[in-house]
Structure 1
């Protein structure tokens, strides 16, 4: 029987998953939001030291946590950590998806989570999301969380799509990913798009995210007030917690 789930919410969604005896899902440690009392948890290395090291490189925790029920049914939820969308990926046996790092939420135990290196050094140095991505391999159901809204595009063989770095959320492994320098001196100097653009070449599907968190953070930082204080810079930033009454 297929795993039963529901994705609830819009801006800050949550994936609520129903567990029956025999179902087993896992996530990074600290990823769970709430669960019913019938759900058991088991923390483990998820495949030994090698797997732990790979997860650390992709921004995940060293350990993973398995969730299951022994009797009856249970419910467990994984909430988004930032405004965006949760996608449920139903992967066939051997089917793979390449996703941006830190996007993994949870998956059935049959789904393998591994790191994925970009083939070209330029893509890693200037791609906006680092050199390492995550690779999910089926069979099974996996949940991923991306920034903002999600747009899906299907690229024909040889079709090229240029994307501002950071907007690439997920792709099929058949899509070739690279980063190229923007052409033209005026475009580089005055275009406002930076020196590099990501290039995606088909065939295959790609998923683009509309609001990379790096851009959102930079935008918010522009509106953060500063007050005189200690430090070499002559001022200190006021945190969001201070603005809203926190310490």
Structure 2
């Protein structure tokens, strides 16, 4: 399999498959394709795995594209302006991602749901409550709205983030939710009641544009019936 990320802020992933090679995505994730390609849609991993993916923001069914002969091209496009990240995961290597981050991957990559273990993160984390767990081996592509910033946290190092700005992190990073201190900060800062606390060691990827923020902004300009 060969691939190329094309574009800047509305990227595509152009994947060239050789005979016998496959790539899978959520239903509706493919933009265009050419060549001798077999398309199979089903509940990959069984019913429980499918229900877990649904809770994590993905489709109940996944579609696999397999090149039957020669070379074939399959192109995937993100649902919102932003960046596409590619990761070559080793066997057993794992990433914890926001829901809706998964774009497509080789068949050897496993996509699961990941609940936060701590009560605070679960009750107050908002978008961070239900996450995606992606495990290797294989290549996976993630779609992240907005620009992406990567930080490497040392052991014990902490970064505080609005939960909606967390794109993904390594499983070695400790994730919890803390309450904003100070009445004035809570009432007038506009940042909400809670912040996510990410504690190293490990890598963290943050996004500049949570989809919830974009949706709220656009909603102001959508006419409503009276």
Matches within 5 A, 1:114-125: 114-125=112-123
- Tell me the TM-score normalized by structure 1: 0.88
Report the aligned-residue RMSD. Answer: 1.3
Partner of 2:111: 113
* Alignment partner of 1:23 is 2:17: no
- Check conservation: 1:12, 1:81, Cα contact below 8 A: no
Structure 2 SS opposite 1:110: coil
Measured after TM superposition, the shift of residue 124 of structure 1 is 2.2
- Separation (CA, whole Å) in 1 of partners of 2:176 and 2:63: 34
- Unaligned ranges ≥5, structure 1: 230-234, 236-247
Does residue 190 in structure 1 map to residue 191 in structure 2?
A: no
Q: Residue 177 of structure 1 corresponds to which residue in structure 2?
A: 175
Number of matched pairs: 226
Aligned with 1:54 (options 35, 52, 55): 52
Contact 1:91 1:138 in 2 (8 A): yes
Q: How does 1:86-97 map to 2 (within 5 A)?
A: 86-97=84-95
For residues 80 and 128 of structure 1, the distance between their equivalents in structure 2, rounded to whole angstroms, comes to 23
Q: Note the alpha carbon deviations across 1:68-110, whole angstroms, 9 max, x for none.
A: 1121000001101101100111101110001101111110000
Structure 2 distance, partners of 1:190, 1:44, is 48
Task: In structure 2, list runs of 5 or more residues that go unmatched.
Answer: none
Whole-angstrom distance in 2 between the partners of 1:221 and 1:42: 37
Q: Counterpart in 2 of 1:142? A: 140
Q: Separation in 2 of the partners of 1:44 and 1:216?
A: 32
| Residue 133, structure 1, aligned to residue 131, structure 2 | yes
The one-character-per-residue Cα deviations of 1:179-222 (angstroms, maximum 9, x if unpaired) are 11001112112222111011100000000000111111112223
Contact 1:45–1:63, Cα closer than 8 Å, also in 2: yes
